[in-house]
Amino acid sequence: MNNYFTETVWKIDVVLLFIAVFLTILLIARMVFKNYLDNRRAQKLLSIKKNVYDLILSGKKIEKNIAFPLKDLEPNIFLDIATNRNRESAFFNKSEQEILKEYFADKKHIPKLEKIVNKSGNKWSRIEVILSIGYCEIDSLLPALKKSLWDNDEDIAYFTILALAQLKTLDSAKTLLDFLKTRSFYRSKIVSVFGQFPHEISGETMELVKSENPTVRFWGIKVLTEIKTHQYLHEIEQFTKDKSAEIRSAACECLGASGNKNVVPALEACLKDEMWLVRMSAVKAIERILGTDSISIIIPLIKDNSWFVIDSAKNVIAKHIESAIPPIEKILEGKDELAKKICIEAIETSGYVSRLYRDIFSGDTDKKKRALSILSNILKSSPGYGLQTALYDLNKDEMLAVLQAFKTINKEWVEAVEAKLGVKI
Amino acid sequence: MWAHVVYVAFLVFLGYFLILIGFYIFLAIFGFIEDKKREWEREEENYPLVYFSDLTIPVSIIIPAHNEEVWIRDSVMSLLNLNYPAYEVIIVDDGSTDGTFPILKEMLDLKAMDIIYTKHYKDGDVINILKSAKYPNISVIHKLGGMKKAGAVNAGLNLSKYDYVCVMDADTILEQDALIKVMAQIGREPDKVIGIGSAFGLSNGMKIKDGRIINRSFSTDPLIAYQNLEYIRSFIGNRLAWSKFNTMPNVAGGFGVWRKDILYELGGFSSYFTCEDIELTFRVHDYIARNKEKGYKILMMPYYVGWTEGPSNVTSLIKQRDRWQRVVIETVWQYKHMLCNPKYKGFGFLVYPYFILYEVLGVFFEVASIAFVTVGWITRQLDTNTFFAFLSLMALTQFILSLLCLHTFVRGQKVFKTGYTIYLLFLSSIEFFFYRPIISIAKLFGTYHYMKGVRIYDQYTRVKR
């Protein structure tokens, strides 16, 4: 009988067993301790909540010497309170949060927070404080945030962006714009946070838009779009003639977001741009500004040579189908098969076919005549596209009446539908 | 001579288990670091900002469903409850012969839709495309079966309109914040993240009503509990670590988000393989390396985004794991050129060898080593002391792996109550003797069926609720 390395294997077993027992005890202790800490934290927050209630009920203005249960603030609790994170049991309403923010923004806490942001070796502790500064809107710590924004660690930079977005001041906007100018990552995120900023930052942003660098110009215009600026529209109009198609497209979006009718001529000019991307953005922007009135400008775009432009024009038509019906009727009577198809798709997408069916049975002779004319044209132009789906909304008698009316136009289609629906005229 | 063979074999098996322990420790350490990072990120992220931003990326959710009458209602309802600003749902009824389609028709008020449908991806025969009259963002594709789940997902891809697609199983109930958590991560670097997966657990034992979990009681049935443990090991203990090195080998089919341009480049999911998820992930890594693309990421998140039904009896479990083993071998064989190929960096030098050692050959090492020591002991080639020392080594290796994963899991998650976690702890200590043999049998079946050329997607029977 052999005993290969038995001693060695037993030794490994003993080590593994020791590790297993140690890990087991550690795991159980950890779970119990974690539960205890969570409960304790929740209790502390509840005590703060009670104090705040008492304070509000007493009608006193907050003073520096009010004794909250936590004299030495931990950043994570600080952040919990400011944002109500993960703590439904300790929910604070807006006015309570304001009181707390005022207390936590007390000058005596600021050096401590600044020290953590600038010097802490634990990056996530830094991040917690960075966010706390943002949520508590402690403007005086902006220099610390400016520094952390340029940190080599992408996580710290990312959460500083979020914190600066909470401050919503001109200075914090400038800091973000500077960052946007030179760093390539998180640009989309930065632009998204500008939705929360006041319009006053438009001036600063315009400086960015005037940059020689096309990427900076592009993102600058994106920021202006996000804040829906009403200023500098004339300057932005100039960018609809920029060398870069992306910038021309972004300028169209920006003008559309302004909602100002004065920019429509510039956008109309963009409908003739050589790049489909610009034409598509112009279609969307014009619709955003003029709404229903945009139909007469947009409807010719269904003959565009780019499917993307055609599709956006079709969507506009479908959205404002009532206004689009008169020009559509003309197109359906014409000879351009592709244009007819687009119009029919728009009618189908908008659900207008059901409305036409209802008009047939409305009792109004004019409505019935018009509905039948449009439906007949649809049936002639495209074999039944969208007509069958809407039949489901009718009762059996109405269904049969419609099919009867269609039989003279396209017998084959009617028979196919009869077979599918299981009805017979 | 025989003594010499036994000696060499003993050395090989011992070496195998020591290498395995090394891999486990490596994965546990880096999984722990990655989990900590992701958890911190989750805590600090501003989800309302993501929710209300115009720049939040819309997602097309694709659910392939084949005979899923038991789950489909809750699954769809869970999608309607999602906290996400812009998404469409495409359910693909893949030749169901049960009540799946009638249920969908009734609950969604489906109407036939005339639509231009372009077959960019191979999808099989589509019978009809329908749209919900109740919920404008839900469409249903009614198609014939025959191209497995891959064909159904491809049909969904053909209809999808957004740049990111989330592919999930029809028996998965999503958490309300599932999509926002995952998409917030993508939103940070949409130019880099091309695929992302996240953890999910088993819904067995939970009470679910209208797509909402009303009682999170986890099944104490050992078979289910062991599967929960396996999911933790796989998602938290294994894939998280690979994600840290951007070598994630599998974005699970139960829940995974892909950027559509990469799927377009690759021609979508492949129905040639038994399952589609792992093969696609390997193919993406292959594509990136071949085209020398830089900076792309495939990530794994530790967040529990949903709950799926697990097999509730041994036969179903074996059937499922047989299928999983087949697809692993199929994929490893298909991408054999990756092994230790410098072009594939960490994937070729770490993930691929790990897959061969643990996922493909692991079962043979385990079974052969047990057989070897047992036969050796019976034939008196090995003494009793050596026999038990070796068995203890195998059992303890298994136990420590679970313990390391549970540590990471408990630190980051509050999914299970303390009692249930201790129960899992207890089960993991005896896993080697009770659960592991079942999985080994399933893997052996899988290998055998692979050799026989079986490539079917054999779905186990859903339990009526």
Q: Do B385 and A386 touch (CB under 8 A)?
A: no
pLDDT computed for residue A66 by the predictor? 47
Q: Which of B355, B167, B195 is nearest to B253 (CA)?
A: B167
The tokens 């917690």 sit on which residue? A128
- Is B289's Cβ below 8 Å from some Cβ in A? no
What is the distance between the alpha carbons of residues A263 and A170, in angstroms, rounded to a whole number? 27
Nearest CA in chain B to A12: B393
pLDDT computed for residue B332 by the predictor? 94
pLDDT computed for residue B465 by the predictor? 53
Token pair of A97, please?
């949060």
CA distance A10 to chain B (A): 5
Residue B429 has pLDDT above 50, yes or no: yes
- Is A24's Cβ below 8 Å from some Cβ in B? yes
Chain B residue numbers with beta carbons less than 8 Å from the beta carbon of A386 are 114
- The span from the first CA to the last CA of chain B, in angstroms, equals 60
- Name all contacts of A329-332 with Cβ < 8 Å and 24+ positions apart: A329/A373, A329/A374, A329/A377, A331/A299, A331/A302, A332/A374, A332/A377, A332/A378, A332/A381
What is the distance between the alpha carbons of residues B274 and B328, in angstroms, rounded to a whole number? 9
pLDDT computed for residue A20 by the predictor? 93
pLDDT computed for residue B168 by the predictor? 95
Nearest CA in chain A to B109: A392
Tell me if B205 is assigned to some domain: yes
Q: Do A4 and B187 touch (CB under 8 A)?
A: no
pLDDT computed for residue A53 by the predictor? 63
pLDDT computed for residue B461 by the predictor? 63
**Stretch B4-32: mean pLDDT:** 84
CATH of the domain at B162: 3.90.550.10
The tokens 């892909």 sit on which residue? B258
Token pair of B77, please?
């309802």
Residue A64 has pLDDT above 60, yes or no: no
Q: Residue B385, Cβ neighbours under 10 Å: how many?
A: 14
Candidates B187, B380, B410; nearest CB to A27: B410
Q: Which residues pair with B65 in a beta bridge?
A: B93
pLDDT, tens digit, 9 for 90 and up, residues B375-417: 888 888 778 888 888 889 889 988 998 999 998 888 877 788 8
Crossing angle of the two packed helices A202-209 and A214-226, in degrees rounded to 10: 160
Nearest CA in chain B to A23: B403
pLDDT computed for residue A283 by the predictor? 95
Residue B330 has pLDDT above 50, yes or no: yes
Residue B44 has pLDDT above 80, yes or no: no
pLDDT, tens digit, 9 for 90 and up, residues B81-127: 899 988 999 999 998 998 899 999 989 888 877 666 778 888 888 88
Q: How much is the mean pLDDT over chain A?
A: 81
Q: Which of B176, B160, B141, B165 is nearest to B65 (CA)?
A: B141
Residue B460 pLDDT class (50, 70, 90 cuts): low
Phi-psi region at B95: left, alpha or beta (left = phi > 0; alpha = psi -120 to 50) = left
pLDDT computed for residue B326 by the predictor? 93
Task: Residue B105: give the domain boundaries.
Answer: 56-228+248-336
Q: Do B403 and A27 touch (CB under 8 A)?
A: yes
CB B161 within 8 A of CB B88: yes
pLDDT computed for residue B237 by the predictor? 84
pLDDT computed for residue A69 by the predictor? 43
What is the distance between the alpha carbons of residues B269 and B152, in angstroms, rounded to a whole number? 9
Tell me if B430 is assigned to some domain: no
Task: State residue A263 phi and psi, 5-degree precision.
Answer: -90, -5
Local structure of B211: helix, strand or coil: coil
Q: Which residue has the higher pLDDT, A314 or B47?
A: A314
Percent of chain B with pLDDT over 90: 49
Residue A126 has pLDDT above 80, yes or no: yes
CB B36 within 8 A of CB B412: yes
What is the distance between the alpha carbons of residues B67 and B87, in angstroms, rounded to a whole number? 25
Tell me the CA distances in angstroms from B447 to B282, B423, B454, one per residue in order.
20, 32, 10
Token pair of A325, please?
């019906």
- Is B369's Cβ below 8 Å from some Cβ in A? no
Tell me if B192 is assigned to some domain: yes
Size of interface A-B (CB pairs under 8 A): 132
Tell me the CA distances in angstroms from B1 to A388, B4, B8, B422, one per residue in order.
82, 5, 11, 48
pLDDT computed for residue A85 by the predictor? 58
What is the distance between the alpha carbons of residues B148 and B66, in angstroms, rounded to a whole number? 9
**Stretch B163-183: mean pLDDT:** 93
Residue B54 has pLDDT above 80, yes or no: no
pLDDT computed for residue B192 by the predictor? 87
What is the distance between the alpha carbons of residues B449 and B434, in angstroms, rounded to a whole number? 24
- Is A39's Cβ below 8 Å from some Cβ in B? no
Chain A residue numbers with beta carbons less than 8 Å from the beta carbon of B3 are 2
Residue A65 pLDDT class (50, 70, 90 cuts): very low
What is the distance between the alpha carbons of residues B361 and B327, in angstroms, rounded to a whole number? 14
CB B201 within 8 A of CB B104: no
Which A residues, 222 through 251, put their C-beta within 8 Å of a C-beta on chain B?
226
CB A130 within 8 A of CB A158: no
Residue A19 has pLDDT above 50, yes or no: yes
pLDDT computed for residue A67 by the predictor? 46
CB B170 within 8 A of CB B459: no
Nearest CA in chain A to B37: A124
Helix count and strand count (H, E) for chain A: 24, 0
- Is B42's Cβ below 8 Å from some Cβ in A? no
Chain B residue numbers with beta carbons less than 8 Å from the beta carbon of A378 are none
Chain B residue numbers with beta carbons less than 8 Å from the beta carbon of A6 are 383, 385-386, 389
Q: Do A9 and B14 touch (CB under 8 A)?
A: yes
Which A residues, 306 through 345, put their C-beta within 8 Å of a C-beta on chain B?
345
Residue B245 has pLDDT above 80, yes or no: yes
Q: Residue A174, Cβ neighbours under 10 Å: how many?
A: 18
Q: Residue A64, Cβ neighbours under 10 Å: how many?
A: 9
Which B residues, 63 through 102, put their C-beta within 8 Å of a C-beta on chain A?
none
Chain A residue numbers with beta carbons less than 8 Å from the beta carbon of B11 are 4
Candidates A32, A127, A158; nearest CB to B188: A158
Q: What is the DSSP string of A83-114?
A: HTTT-GGG---HHHHHHHHHHHT-TTTHHHHH
Chain B residue numbers with beta carbons less than 8 Å from the beta carbon of A195 are 52-54
CA distance B40 to chain A (A): 7
β pairing state of B193-202 and B255-259: antiparallel
pLDDT, tens digit, 9 for 90 and up, residues A32-45: 888 888 777 677 66
Q: Residue B383, Cβ neighbours under 10 Å: how many?
A: 16
pLDDT computed for residue A60 by the predictor? 57
Chain B residue numbers with beta carbons less than 8 Å from the beta carbon of A16 are 21, 393, 396-397, 400
Tell me if B258 is assigned to some domain: yes
CA distance B438 to chain A (A): 24
- Is A67's Cβ below 8 Å from some Cβ in B? no
Please give the tally of structural domains in chain B: 1
- Is B382's Cβ below 8 Å from some Cβ in A? yes
Tell me if B281 is assigned to some domain: yes
pLDDT computed for residue B221 by the predictor? 93
pLDDT computed for residue A159 by the predictor? 86
Highest mean pLDDT among A151-160, B49-58, B316-325: B316-325
- Is B400's Cβ below 8 Å from some Cβ in A? yes
CB B237 within 8 A of CB B230: no
Candidates A16, A386, A392; nearest CB to B400: A16
What is the distance between the alpha carbons of residues A347 and A361, in angstroms, rounded to a whole number? 19
Which A residues, 146 through 205, put their C-beta within 8 Å of a C-beta on chain B?
155, 158-159, 162, 165, 185-186, 188-189, 191-193, 195-196
Local structure of A346: helix, strand or coil: helix
Q: Do B425 and A2 touch (CB under 8 A)?
A: no
Residue A11 has pLDDT above 50, yes or no: yes
What is the distance between the alpha carbons of residues B127 and A33, in angstroms, rounded to a whole number? 58
Task: State residue B320 phi and psi, 5-degree precision.
Answer: -65, -45
Chain B residue numbers with beta carbons less than 8 Å from the beta carbon of A155 are 37, 40-41
Helix or strand holding residue A237 (H, E): helix A233-238
Tell me if B136 is assigned to some domain: yes
Tell me if B284 is assigned to some domain: yes
pLDDT, tens digit, 9 for 90 and up, residues A216-248: 888 888 888 888 888 888 888 999 999 888 899
Q: Which residue has the higher pLDDT, B403 or B10?
A: B403
β pairing state of B164-168 and B207-209: unpaired
Residue A97 has pLDDT above 80, yes or no: no
pLDDT computed for residue A138 by the predictor? 81
Tell me if B84 is assigned to some domain: yes
Q: Which of B421, B236, B30 is nearest to A29 (CA)?
A: B421
β pairing state of B59-65 and B164-168: parallel
Q: How much is the mean pLDDT over chain B?
A: 88
Burial level of A243, CB count in 10 A (0-12/13-18/19+)? exposed
What is the distance between the alpha carbons of residues B339 and B345, in angstroms, rounded to a whole number? 10
